Amino acid sequence: MRYFIEIAYNGKNYHGWQIQPDAVTVQEVVEKCFSTLLRKQIQVTGAGRTDAGVHAKQMFAHIDVEKIPNLGNFIYRMNSFLPKDIAIKNVFPVKEQAHARFDAVLREYQYLIALHKNPFLQDFSCQLHNKPNVKKMNEAASMLLNFSDFQCFSRSNTDVKTYLCKVKNAFWEEKDDNLLVFTITADRFLRNMVRAIVGTLLDVGYNKITTEDFKAILNSKDRTKAGASAPAHGLYLTKVKYPKNIFI
């Protein structure tokens, strides 16, 4: 049977989601846990990949195993095996052809910026001393909805076949506890895309570039024209959505 797994993790101690040689990743740890518990080699296929240090409040993956009789007990046992910074939130059966990566129709990321020193957000937000111009950053962010090619925000030498993404929302919010939160949703994201967007929007917010410059960067399709990537530890994968017809 095919099962979807809903996972959350603190990415601080991991070199991203995807298995890599000579580096500890979330996928590797989860696969070893499943394989130990089920006493056979299990392959875990994720909805995507997060960079080193990036967190996930909601990541999905799928596995193919024999029917699991008591899912509640299985989830409890999985969480007992896993380290404290990775949690299994749910496990549920789906149709045999359902795919955690290819069937995802929407993904959402959030980026957190603390506007004062906060020891509780030290590893979970980018901490800045001077507040950027949020209005200008939102003016620039709204332009993302009018573009489809995001090569200018993609990591160089990547193996993707297309740089096309459909951004549905992109906006900054000011929270009461001196937090700035950037939310962006799209059908797919390129490697390093969100962090590059945040870094370039901060350049707008600090008057290093104008909103017209931001538009020119989007038109350029040139990563060297965009700003530096924002630090990984402020970024969260917060939502992955699927069509209802994959569920049993």
Q: Active-site residue numbers? A: 51
Q: Are the C-beta atoms of 20 and 198 separated by less than 8 Å?
A: no
Q: Which amino acid is at 161?
A: K
Q: Going by DSSP bridges, is the β-strand pair 126-127/179-186 parallel, antiparallel, or unpaired?
A: unpaired
Q: Are the C-beta atoms of 86 and 214 separated by less than 8 Å?
A: no
111 C-beta neighbours (distance < 10 Å), count = 25
132 phi and psi, to 5 degrees? -80, 170
* CB-count exposure of residue 169 (10 Å: 0-12, 13-18, 19+): middle
From CA 185, how far away is CA 159, in angstroms rounded?
22
